[in-house]
Structure 1
């Protein structure tokens, strides 16, 4: 039974491996113009479905209740969307001197430009007992911000393929991201009670659609004879990703526990997860829009595909340690505040 439970828990990561394998075996099914017609079914329908689902699942009232913690939100958003991509860019200036595949390095830069995820940071903050409302707000607010900021960062740090003009990227983002998201939020207002009762599996729905997007992206790659990925580059990138995550978690911990920070231990937990996690659900569709027609699109998306399971794995491993730190720190603060 233990194995079955494990498989159920990790089904999405197993799914990623399976869809990439199927794409390798028979790429003609999911290529542009193939039976699945990804230029319509994925580019418009699947991407819109993911964001409509996000709009439907975001609890507006939870966002508004967490709104007042401005200092925490500013810290998380500036770290995620300004410091993170800039630090990665500096790091890549050194890595570009090595023999690591240049498209994987570009992929690392795209990871830096991504907004926080709507789920994993919240789940891990809740598991530790941190400030869940702040995690929900920052994940959701970061996702909204990411719709505008992430494409701008991608174009700033990487430039888009010359065939895709700036205006068409934003009009497509608006139609397939902003409109479905707002539609989801409006519909949620009318069927809120029903949604609360039924609790639809939002995460599973988005993940299934995401697997389709990943599948067609890799079908395009494997049908391209010029792409060649060496194992050395891939292994090094995995190590780099774990190094980036650990370093940035440590950095956010140091900043948010400083004497003048003014953050509670529960705030620190939310900051550590929200500021260092990156969204695959929003990231892959955005890369698909910004780098549409790019022959190296799937190589660029590989680091993000690695980053997603790595952040969940690393976060889950660190939950007991962070929890015991938070409990000790809270006890120490309570004792300090008690009158002698």
Structure 2
């Protein structure tokens, strides 16, 4: 069997090595949950916590004032993306809450709502916008702002939901925001401050930094599932629930994507801004999801179940958006060729 061809075929539909390793990490946690479920300053879970701050430091190091300035030209584009990310997503998931009954299903719904409250992803949004020849500076700007807004808005949404079920008090919510600010915002701010001096270094080693990001995400996923398997959280979760969760994540993506597409037509966006709104507004960040879960659900054994929806959504959004981006690019190139042929005839 030609594995190179097989890998190429998988990558064309958005299944890359990282997604395969994600599945292996969960399988490894199932085999030996005791390895990653330990606590202490030198445990795998603690190492993952330290590494999160390093991720966001390098993320800030790659951000410059110029990228923010260029992305400010279309205010309606930014409003649409952030309203979709932080309002439409949660409202859609709140609407289906009555269908989730029983302790196991309520925990799963909490994971879906956590996904809905997360910010947009940065790297893959920019990559997909670039692939479809959208507005890249606007994608960088909006994905970056979304990440920073998520530090405050994600815990606020979770606070509203958890206050009714787990008794989250205002002081607990404040503590979470402070912890996330120290773990995420402070490293990002420090990175941006050092951008002029070390920004080119970060851009030059972008592949290595992306590998580091993915390694940390895999470590967080592994330790989270180790804790859940160790506490036997998945024992009451049937295979049919996993299947319906996967189908539900695909449905959620298309509901939001359709809404954004409708709004771009209503607001009469050009092609580049339409692509940016569709891809940035419909995506959710696995990086922030795993990082924030360490703070918001600290000490909670069911984190593995809560992270299931974001893992499903992450996989499907990559596959679906990759296919859409390729189709959009092909269609746009065809239109440009037709315009060029028409001009030459004239």
Q: TM-score, normalised by structure 1?
A: 0.88
1:96 corresponding residue in structure 2: 100
1:47 corresponding residue in structure 2: 52
**Aligned ranges 1:273-284 → 2 under 5 Å:** 273-284=279-290
CA–CA distance in structure 2, aligned partners of residues 215 and 279 of structure 1: 17
Identify unmatched segments of 5+ residues in structure 1: 335-339
Identify unmatched segments of 5+ residues in structure 2: 341-345
1:25 corresponding residue in structure 2: 31
Distance 1:167 1:98, change over 3 A: closer
2:306 corresponding residue in structure 1: 300
Q: String of CA shifts for 1:79-126, please: whole Å, max 9, x gaps.
A: 111121112111233x22599722222111111101000111111111
Q: Is the 8 A contact 2:59 2:191 kept in 1?
A: yes
CA-CA distance at 1:35 after TM superposition: 9.5
1:337 corresponding residue in structure 2: none
**Aligned ranges 1:197-236 → 2 under 5 Å:** 197-228=204-235, 229-236=237-244
Distance 1:98 1:316, change over 3 A: farther
- For structure 1, which segment, 235-244 or 322-331, has the greater mean C-alpha deviation from structure 2 after superposition? 322-331
CA-CA distance at 1:6 after TM superposition: 6.0
- 1:126 correspondence with 2:134: no
CA-CA distance at 1:200 after TM superposition: 4.9
2:151 corresponding residue in structure 1: 147
CA-CA distance at 1:32 after TM superposition: 3.1
- 1:74 correspondence with 2:79: yes
Q: Is the 8 A contact 1:122 1:136 kept in 2?
A: yes
CA–CA distance in structure 1, aligned partners of residues 96 and 168 of structure 2: 29
- For structure 1, which segment, 45-54 or 95-104, has the greater mean C-alpha deviation from structure 2 after superposition? 95-104
CA-CA distance at 1:188 after TM superposition: 2.1
- For structure 1, which segment, 157-166 or 26-35, has the greater mean C-alpha deviation from structure 2 after superposition? 157-166
Higher helix share: 2
CA–CA distance in structure 1, aligned partners of residues 62 and 123 of structure 2: 11
CA-CA distance at 1:285 after TM superposition: 1.0
Q: Is the 8 A contact 2:129 2:136 kept in 1?
A: yes
2:343 corresponding residue in structure 1: none
- 1:287 correspondence with 2:293: yes
How many residue pairs were aligned? 332
- For structure 1, which segment, 182-191 or 317-326, has the greater mean C-alpha deviation from structure 2 after superposition? 317-326
CA-CA distance at 1:34 after TM superposition: 7.0
CA–CA distance in structure 1, aligned partners of residues 335 and 256 of structure 2: 21
CA-CA distance at 1:7 after TM superposition: 7.5
CA–CA distance in structure 1, aligned partners of residues 33 and 41 of structure 2: 11
Q: Matched residue of 1:301: which SS?
A: helix
CA-CA distance at 1:220 after TM superposition: 0.4
Q: Is the 8 A contact 1:53 1:206 kept in 2?
A: no
1:254 corresponding residue in structure 2: 262
- 1:2 correspondence with 2:5: yes
Q: String of CA shifts for 1:282-321, please: whole Å, max 9, x gaps.
A: 1111122101111211101100011101100001122233
- For structure 1, which segment, 235-244 or 192-201, has the greater mean C-alpha deviation from structure 2 after superposition? 192-201
